[in-house]
């Protein structure tokens, strides 16, 4: 059970770091940003199909990382 809890924590950390990198110009195009995208995109893409980004002024706000993060937190609370 302990390994699963650690994996949930790591997954949550990776999602948060990827979200924070989106605010830094050029960070998403770095090798680290590309690695994070490859790791997280298979989880975020299906959520984006259901929860579309919302328009905030001229920018789009992607809610998929928030939804996935909350799901990880809930799962971790139930399982761990």
CA distance 32 to 34: 5
Residue pair 36/15 in contact (Cβ under 8 Å)? The answer is no
Give residue 73's pLDDT band: very low, low, confident or very high (50, 70, 90). very high
DSSP run (H or E) holding 56: strand 54-56
User: For residue 18, what are its two tokens?
Assistant: 């990827």
CA distance 50 to 27: 27
User: For residue 21, what are its two tokens?
Assistant: 């990198």
**Residues above pLDDT 90, as percent of the chain:** 78
Domain range holding 19? Answer: 2-79
Which pLDDT value is given to residue 5?
Answer: 93
Give residue 40's pLDDT band: very low, low, confident or very high (50, 70, 90). very high
Domains identified in the chain, total number: 1
pLDDT tens by residue, 4-37: 999 999 999 999 999 999 888 888 889 999 999 9
């Amino acid at each position: 059970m302990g390994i699963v809890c650690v994996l949930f924590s790591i997954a949550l950390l990776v999602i948060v770091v990827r979200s924070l990198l989106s605010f830094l110009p050029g960070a998403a195009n770095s090798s680290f940003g590309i690695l994070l995208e490859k790791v997280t995109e298979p989880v975020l893409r299906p959520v984006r199909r259901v929860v579309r980004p919302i328009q905030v002024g001229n920018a789009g706000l992607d809610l998929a990382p928030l939804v996935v993060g909350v799901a990880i937190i809930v799962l971790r609370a139930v399982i761990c």
